[in-house]
Amino acid sequence: MAVPTVESPRSGRVSPGYSRTRSSRGNFEMGAWLFMRLSGVVLVVMIFVHLWTSLVAGDGISQVDFGFVAGKWASPIWQVWDLAMLWLAMLHGTNGVRTIINDYAEKNSTRMWLKGVLYTATVVIILLGTLVIFTFDPCPVIDGVAHVASYCPTA
């Protein structure tokens, strides 16, 4: 049997928790970093135009109802605008939370679970939002009953 020896304190051994086992090079982190900066700049413009057209221009905040939203989305410009805003904001926010998880979760398993929840929520919200932008109907007919609001055309 080997005689147990005391390891030299200057053996150059790196504590296992610190060694980067596999190098993870690639341009993903660079792309994410660049995306945060570019999308941030674009979002500042998009969000303030969105806030101004919805809450300041015209009748201001009192004009906002289903009819107003449907009126905006009748124009392809606002459809594309809101779609871009949705996607950019969601991806920007998701990437931000992803970096926070990376920075604060200490175990890889915790990271995996938190990011799983995050990505699921992101996909659901993006798909749902995209669907609503293109299929929004302010005067739906449910079970043969038209839920007529004041702005809906009477049949």
Partner 1 sequence: MEKEPASKVELPAGAGGGEIPSFDITLKVRRYNPEVSDEAHWDEWQLTMYGTDRVLDALHKVKWEHDGSVSFRRSCAHGVCGSDAMRINGRNRLACKTLLKDLDTSKPILVEPIKGLPVEKDLIVDMEPFFQSYREIMPFLITKGHEPTKERLQSAEDRERYDDTTKCILCAACTSSCPVFWTDGQYFGPAAIVNAHRFIFDSRDDAGDMRLEILNDKEGVWRCRTTFNCTDACPRGIQVTKAIAEVKQAILTRRV
| Interaction site with partner 1 (CB under 8 A) | 9, 12-15, 17-20, 23-30, 32-34, 99, 102-106
User: Minimum CB separation from partner 1 for residue 117, in Å?
Assistant: 19
Using CA atoms, how far apart are residues 32 and 28, in angstroms rounded to an integer? 6
Query: Is the CB of 25 or the CB of 61 nearer to partner 1?
Result: 25
Query: Is the CB of 52 or the CB of 104 nearer to partner 1?
Result: 104
For residue 22, give both structure tokens: 């596999």
- In the chain, the N- to C-terminal Cα span, in Å, equals 94
User: Minimum CB separation from partner 1 for residue 48, in Å?
Assistant: 25
Q: What count of other Cβ atoms lies within 10 Å of the Cβ of residue 148?
A: 12
User: Minimum CB separation from partner 1 for residue 42, in Å?
Assistant: 17
Q: Is 15 exposed, middle or buried (0-12, 13-18, 19+ CB in 10 A)?
A: exposed
Query: Is the CB of 13 or the CB of 147 nearer to partner 1?
Result: 13
